[in-house]
Structure 1
Amino acid sequence: METLSEMLGSVSDFVWGPVMLILLLGTGLYLTIGLRAMPIRRIGYGFRQLMSGRRVVEADKGEITPFQALSTALSATVGTGNIGGVATAIAVGGPGAVFWMWITALVGMATKYGEAVLAVKYREVDEEGRYVGGPMYYIRNGMGAKWGWLGALFALFAMVAAFGIGNTVQSNAVADVMEANLYVPTWVTGLVLAVLVFFVIIGGVRRIAGLAERLVPLMAVVYILGALVVIVVNIQAVPGALAHIVGDAFTGTAATGGFAGAAVMTAIRFGVARGIFSNEAGLGSAPIAHAAARTNDPVRQGTVAMLGTFIDTIIVCTMTALVIVLSGAWESGTSGAELTSIAFGDGVPGGNWVVTFGLIIFAFTTIVAWSYYGERCAEYLFGVKAIMPYRYLWVVLLFVGAVAKLGIVWLIADVLNALMAIPNLIALLALSGTIFAVTRDYFAREESGR
C-alpha cells in the first residue's frame, strides 16, 4: 500500500507539474488575447446579466435560471480551496503566491467564459427532456464524431474523480471537523450527511440549483463579512499587506519566524496550482452546470459564467489571504484550514468558528454540485439508466468517506482531476475560433441594437 501511495504521489506531482500549469495558464492567456480581454473589460456587463438572470423567461430553453447555474457552479468551487488551499499556497510559497492566484483568475475568466459558451452552443436534450452538456458534448458535437473517444475519456475521468474530490474527501473533511470541534462521532456525521444529500440530489438539477441559489450567496456573504471584520480592525496595515503580496511575487520571501522562506518559482507554482484548484477554470466541471441554464444565447451565459472565477478567487480567496497575511499567522509553520482558522481566531474573537462552519457548509454544497457533474458524465457513458444507481452509490460512499482513511482515494482523485483538464483544454483550443466568432457576432448585434 505504501508503494502504491508513493507511485500515485509521483504521478500526481507530474500531472500537476509545470507542463499542466503552463497548459492551463497558456490556454487562458490565449483566449484572453483572442477575446481582446473582453471578460476583464466587461465584468460590469456580466453582473448585469447575472441580476437579470434571476428571473425565468419562458421563451428561453433550459432547466434552471442563469443565476442558478452560476450558483451551482460556485457551490462546487467555493469550498476547501478558498479556505485551506489559499492557506497552503501562502504557507509554502509565501504571500507572493496570492499575486499569482490573481493572475490565474484573470486569465481563467476567459477560460470559464469559453467553456460556458461551448457548453450552451453544443448542448443536447436527453431522452427524458433534460438539457445536458459539458466538455464531452462539445468535444463530440463541436470537433466531430471522430473525437467522441476524447469526450468519453473526459466523462470517465470526471465520473470517477467526482467520487473522490466531490464526495468522500468532502465528507471526510466534514466528519473530522465535527469530531474535533463538536465531538460528534464520524459515523453520525456520515449518516446525517448522506440523508441530507439524498433528499437534495434525488430531485435532480432543479432542486440542486434551488438549494445553491439560496445557500451559496448566504455562505459567501457570511464568510466575507467575517473576513472584513478582521480587515477593518487592521485597516491601517492593509496597504502594507498588499505591497507585501505584490513585492514577494517577484522577489521571493526571506525566512522569518517559523517560515522556511520561498523562492519566486515556488510562489508561482503554488499560487497558480491553488488558484486553479480553487476556481476550476479549465478543468471542465463548471460548463456541465451552465449547459442547463435557461438561455437562447451562449455568449450571454458565458458572461455570467466568467463571474464564477472572479467571485471565487479575486473576492473570496483574497479575503482569506488578507486575513492570513494581516494576522502574521502564515509564519507559524502551520498550513491548510488550520492556518486559516488560527488567522481568523487571532483577528477577531470566535473567528475560528467562521472557518469551522464555513468548511462544513462549503463542503456540503460541493458534494451536491459534484453529484450532478458525476451524474451527467455517467449518463453520457451509460445512458439515463445509470442516473439512479449513480445517485444511490453517491450517498453510500458519503458515509464510507466520513469514517474511512482516504490517503489513496485522495491521490487517485487528484490525478484524475488533472486528467480531466487535458481533453477539455484540447477542445477549448480546437474550438477557440467558434468562441471568438460567436462573441464578435453577439456584441456587434448588441452595439447595433439588433
Structure 2
Amino acid sequence: MELLGMDILYILTGIDHFIWGPPLLVLLVGTGILLTWHLGIIQVFRLPLAFRYLLNSGKAESGVQGDVSSFAALSTALSATIGTGNIVGVATAVKTGGPGSLFWMCLAAFFGMATMYSESLLAVKYRIVDANGQMSGGPMYYIKNGLGHKRYSRVLASLFAIFGVNVALFGIGILPQVNAIVDSARIAFGVPEVLTAASISLLVAAVTLGGIRRIAAVAQFLVPFMAIGYVLSCLVIIGLNMEKFPDAVTLIISSAFTGTAARGGFLGAGVMLSIRMGIARGIFSNESGLGSAPIAASAAKVRDPARQGLISMTGTFFDTIIICLMTGIVLIVTDSWTGDLAGAYLTSYAFSTVLAETGSYIVTLGLVFFAFTTILGWNYYGERCIEFLFGVKGILPYKIFYILIVASGAFLTLDVIWVLADIVNGLMAIPNLIALLALRKVIKAETRQYFEKLRVET
C-alpha cells in the first residue's frame, strides 16, 4: 500500500508540474499582456485614478446593489491573496530562482493588474442576487451569463465552481495556512498544536458564520494593519542597509537576464528557472487570472463595474509590487538568500539579522495574521461557489464542514491531498482565462463607455 501511495504521489506530482509549467504560465501572462493592449495600458495611465477611488472607497455608493463597500470588498480579496505566499513564496522564489525572480514576479504582476481589472469588472457586470438577498458573482457567473452558448458555458462555469470549492477546502484556503499558524505559534511561542488549532477554529467559526459582512468587517481592519506594519518593518531593514540597496536593485535586474551564479548556500539558477519561479510564485501570491478575487469584488456596493475594476486592480499592485518585492529586497540586502535556510525560516532569519529577536517575532506574527485572513477570504470564495452549484441551501453545511477542516488541518500531512489541491488551483485558471479572452471586447466596450461618461461629467 505504501508503494502504491508513492506511485500515486509521483504521478500527481508530474501532473502538477505539467499544469503549473510553461503553458499555463504563458497563458496567464499572455492574457494579461493582451488585456493590457486592449485597455490602453490601464494599469499605468489610470492607476492615479484607481488610488483616488481607493481613498474614497470606505463609504458605499447610495442607491446601488451590493453587500459591502468597495474598500471592504478589496480588503476581503486582499485577505485571501496576502498570505504565506508573500513570506514563504517569495523566499522560495529567491532561494530557487535567484534575485532575478523578483523582476519577473513584478513584471507578471504588472500585466496581472490588467487581468485583475478585467475579472472584477466582469464580476460586477454579471453578478446576481441570490435567494438570501446577497450578491453572488465571479467567474462562474460571467462564464455562464456572458459567453452565450448555454450548455458549453454552464459546464465551464460549473467546473470553475467545483475547482473553487476544492481549493477552498483542501488547497491554499486552509491546509497551508493552518499549518503555517500552528508551526509559527509552536516555534516562536511554544503554544501546543491542539490549543492553536482549537483557537483558530473558534475564531474562524465566529467570523465566517456571520457571512460576508462580518468577514469584510474583520478584513478591512486586519488587512491594512498587518500590511502596513509588515511593509514598515521591511522599510526599516532596508533603510538600515541603504548602502546595499543600489547593488540589490542592480543584482535583481542583471540576474533576471543573465542568471545567478552559485554563491554560498545558493546553488545557482539559469534565466529560465528565474522566470518560472518568479512568475509562478507571483501568481500564487496575487492570484491574478485564477478567478478568486473577483468573487469578493462582486459584493461591492458600486454602480459602475469599471470603477470596482480599478479599485481591485490596486490589490495586485499592493500584494506583489509592494509586499512581495519588499520581502525579496530584505532577503538580498541582508545577504540571507545565500545561506542554507529556506522558506519562512529564511525570511525570519533575514529580519532577525537586523532587528534581532524582534525581527523573528514580526515575521511570525505576519505569517499568523496573513494566514488567518486567507482562511477567512477563501471561506467566502468557497461559499459563493457552493451557492452557484447547489443554491443557498448548501451554504450552512459548507461552512460547518469548512470549520471542521480548519480544526483538523493542523494534523493533516497527506502529501497526496496537497498535490491534488495545487493541481485544482491551477485548473481554476483555465475556465476563467477562456472567459476573459472570449469577453475581451465586452471588457473594452465597458471600459470605453465608463471613461466617456467621466469625460462628459467633468
TM-score by length of 1: 0.99
Across the two proteins, how many residue pairs are aligned to each other?
450
1:111-130 alignment runs, 5 A limit = 111-130=115-134
Q: Shift in Å at residue 185 of structure 1?
A: 1.5
Query: Is 2:68 aligned against 1:61?
Result: no
The aligned residue for residue 337 of structure 2 is 330
The aligned residue for residue 157 of structure 2 is 151
What is the rounded CA distance, in whole Å, between the counterparts of 2:414 and 2:352 in structure 1? Answer: 28
What is the rounded CA distance, in whole Å, between the counterparts of 2:381 and 2:138 in structure 1? Answer: 9
Query: Is 2:309 aligned against 1:305?
Result: no
The aligned residue for residue 184 of structure 1 is 191
Q: Shift in Å at residue 334 of structure 1?
A: 2.2
Q: Shift in Å at residue 169 of structure 1?
A: 2.3
* Residue aligned with 1:165, SS: coil
1:108 to 98, 107, 112: 112
What is the rounded CA distance, in whole Å, between the counterparts of 1:348 and 1:303 in structure 2? Answer: 37
The aligned residue for residue 253 of structure 1 is 260
Q: Which amino acid aligns with 2:424?
A: L
Q: Deviations over 1:307-347 (max 9, x none)?
A: 01000001001110110000111111322111111111112
Q: Shift in Å at residue 173 of structure 1?
A: 1.6
The aligned residue for residue 204 of structure 2 is 197
The aligned residue for residue 230 of structure 1 is 237
What is the rounded CA distance, in whole Å, between the counterparts of 1:57 and 1:277 in structure 2? Answer: 32
The aligned residue for residue 217 of structure 1 is 224
What is the rounded CA distance, in whole Å, between the counterparts of 1:181 and 1:107 in structure 2? Answer: 38
Q: Shift in Å at residue 66 of structure 1?
A: 0.3
2:377 to 333, 348, 369: 369
Residues 87, 344 of structure 2: 8 Å contact kept: yes
Q: Which amino acid aligns with 2:264?
A: G
1:441 to 443, 449, 458: 449
Residues 84, 180 of structure 2: 8 Å contact kept: no
Q: Deviations over 1:175-195 (max 9, x none)?
A: 111122222111111111000
What is the rounded CA distance, in whole Å, between the counterparts of 1:40 and 1:425 in structure 2? Answer: 22
Q: Which has the higher mean CA deviation after the structures are superposed, 190-199 or 345-354?
A: 345-354
Q: Shift in Å at residue 299 of structure 1?
A: 0.2
TM-score by length of 2: 0.97
What are the ranges of 5 or more consecutive residues in structure 2 without an aligned counterpart? none
The aligned residue for residue 8 of structure 1 is 12
What is the rounded CA distance, in whole Å, between the counterparts of 2:271 and 2:377 in structure 1? Answer: 35
What are the ranges of 5 or more consecutive residues in structure 1 without an aligned counterpart? none
Q: Shift in Å at residue 235 of structure 1?
A: 1.0
Q: Which amino acid aligns with 1:80?
A: T
The aligned residue for residue 70 of structure 1 is 74
Q: Deviations over 1:49-106 (max 9, x none)?
A: 1111111222121010000010000000111111010110000000000000010010
What is the rounded CA distance, in whole Å, between the counterparts of 1:236 and 1:213 in structure 2? Answer: 36
What is the rounded CA distance, in whole Å, between the counterparts of 1:143 and 1:118 in structure 2? Answer: 11
Q: Which has the higher mean CA deviation after the structures are superposed, 168-177 or 205-214?
A: 168-177
The aligned residue for residue 281 of structure 2 is 274
Give the superposed CA RMSD. 0.9
Q: Deviations over 1:209-267 (max 9, x none)?
A: 01111000000011011111100101121111111100100010011111111101110
Residues 169, 406 of structure 1: 8 Å contact kept: no
1:132 to 136, 159, 165: 136
Q: Which amino acid aligns with 2:223?
A: V
Q: Which has the higher mean CA deviation after the structures are superposed, 184-193 or 129-138?
A: 184-193
What is the rounded CA distance, in whole Å, between the counterparts of 1:406 and 1:56 in structure 2? Answer: 44
Q: State, as a whole percentage, how many aligned pairs show the same letter.
A: 50
1:161 to 156, 161, 167: 167
The aligned residue for residue 95 of structure 1 is 99
Q: Deviations over 1:12-65 (max 9, x none)?
A: 101000000000000000000110101222111101111111112221210100
Residues 161, 412 of structure 1: 8 Å contact kept: no
What is the rounded CA distance, in whole Å, between the counterparts of 2:298 and 2:223 in structure 1? Answer: 19
Q: Shift in Å at residue 402 of structure 1?
A: 1.2
The aligned residue for residue 440 of structure 2 is 432
Q: Which amino acid aligns with 1:377?
A: C
Query: Is 2:44 aligned against 1:40?
Result: yes
* Residue aligned with 1:348, SS: helix
Query: Is 2:413 aligned against 1:405?
Result: yes
Q: Which amino acid aligns with 2:444?
A: F
The aligned residue for residue 25 of structure 2 is 21
The aligned residue for residue 350 of structure 2 is 343
Residues 208, 379 of structure 2: 8 Å contact kept: yes
Q: Which has the higher mean CA deviation after the structures are superposed, 267-276 or 334-343?
A: 334-343
Residues 168, 400 of structure 1: 8 Å contact kept: no
Q: Which has the higher mean CA deviation after the structures are superposed, 36-45 or 354-363?
A: 36-45
What is the rounded CA distance, in whole Å, between the counterparts of 2:253 and 2:355 in structure 1? Answer: 26
* Residue aligned with 2:265, SS: coil
Q: Deviations over 1:405-439 (max 9, x none)?
A: 14222111100000000000000000000000010
Q: Which has the higher mean CA deviation after the structures are superposed, 236-245 or 53-62?
A: 53-62
Residues 188, 361 of structure 2: 8 Å contact kept: no
Where in structure 1 do 4 or more consecutive aligned residues deviate above 3 Å?
A: none
Residues 91, 333 of structure 1: 8 Å contact kept: no
